[in-house]
Structure 1
């Protein structure tokens, strides 16, 4: 039997979450060092711009593929690769913090495979909605649609838990409400793109995917909701 002295006070971060975080922050660190001339030589200053051009989700590129019925793999990867490219260190760090917090919860509760499914599916749906709904040629970058998907999974689990305990289920949506409100406020004060739509679609994807991915799937959800 383990003793209090041998038990870890904090659960270790799941490897899949650490891996995603290291890729995200590692790329951003490379951009930062290149901008300061510490790696890559004189041409490295343009690494971030080159990455945006090559790996961002670019609606005009998707339009070209659809019009020409050509879907090369190096362009299709944009549906998920954009989540690892950010506009600045601050932009990346905020995404990284949410990834660590929500990713740990989701991975512990659902496992690493489900975590990856939620992350990349939310990224895909968020980008697709951004392209289909908005007539906006601006490229989409940043992990926010993907990490909002993890928030959606967290919200689902909290929603079910509040149902079980007789709590107010609307409280489960406090976090997403706060984040969306904050985004709208910053948009009004400083302007910005409509990439918040991709974030909301990512959240909805994570919430919806939680139903088949949690233990018991749809039947498990119904049992949990009906339980007093």
Structure 2
């Protein structure tokens, strides 16, 4: 993500690609972004071409601006550090990957307009979901109020609502929340002993 933004930022500033470099960001969005049309192609028409399937993942590497990229990458790093204190590398990879794919899929199904989805936020929200799940479990074990675990996502949703009121609604929040839900559900299973604990609960019932 950093490498992609460095190239696109330099091109947009005129340091790479000459006059054509200014349009590289728009070209990257057109080539790598996800859109509801992809869901139609894959699930209704059976198109399984690599250049179509890759859009379920490639969209998180393209951003609309330097600020858009910087904020998303910072969240990924910060939340990845917190979640990585419990999850191993494979667990983190699964959370990020599944949040990315699920965010795109839910966006594609829920949104009627063929608007593009791009940016690392569904993956970042997946890690926020992982962090929330870990805090939720820890509060439960300590006998404390578990709803406190949702403070961070509550603040972020409130910020999104403010921005929507000021600058117009951005439908990418659908993918963000889908990514959050994915990270929240998967993390207890991926944490050490998580699957065994789930099986014990199932057998007990």
The question of a shared fold, defined as TM-score above 0.5 by the shorter chain, is answered with yes
In 1, Cα distance between equivalents of 2:38 and 2:147: 40
Larger of the two Rg values belongs to structure: 1
User: Paired residue for 1:172, among 134, 142, 149?
Assistant: 149
Equivalent in the alignment of 1:37: 14
3-state secondary structure, aligned to 1:215 = coil
Deviation string for 1:25-80 (max 9, x for gaps)? 22112111101111122211111111111100022233234443221011101001
Equivalent in the alignment of 2:159: 182
Aligned positions of 1:72-151 closer than 5 A: 72-151=49-128
In 2, Cα distance between equivalents of 1:210 and 1:181: 24
The structural deviation recorded for 1:192 is 3.0
Equivalent in the alignment of 1:3: none
Equivalent in the alignment of 1:158: 135
User: Paired residue for 1:192, among 141, 148, 169?
Assistant: 169
Any stretches of 5+ residues in structure 1 without a counterpart? 1-23
The structural deviation recorded for 1:221 is 5.8
The structural deviation recorded for 1:222 is 8.3
The structural deviation recorded for 1:167 is 1.6
Do the aligned residues in 1 keep the contact of 2:38 with 2:108 (CA within 8 Å)? no
In 1, Cα distance between equivalents of 2:96 and 2:60: 10
In 1, Cα distance between equivalents of 2:105 and 2:38: 12
In 2, Cα distance between equivalents of 1:218 and 1:45: 49
The structural deviation recorded for 1:84 is 0.8
3-state secondary structure, aligned to 1:110 = coil
List 4+ stretches of structure 1 deviating above 4 A: 221-224
RMSD, aligned α-carbons: 1.7
User: Paired residue for 1:63, among 35, 40, 46?
Assistant: 40
In 1, Cα distance between equivalents of 2:193 and 2:6: 41
The structural deviation recorded for 1:112 is 1.1
Deviation string for 1:60-107 (max 9, x for gaps)? 233234443221011101001101111111111110110111011222
Deviation string for 1:81-136 (max 9, x for gaps)? 10111111111111011011101122231111111110010010011001111212
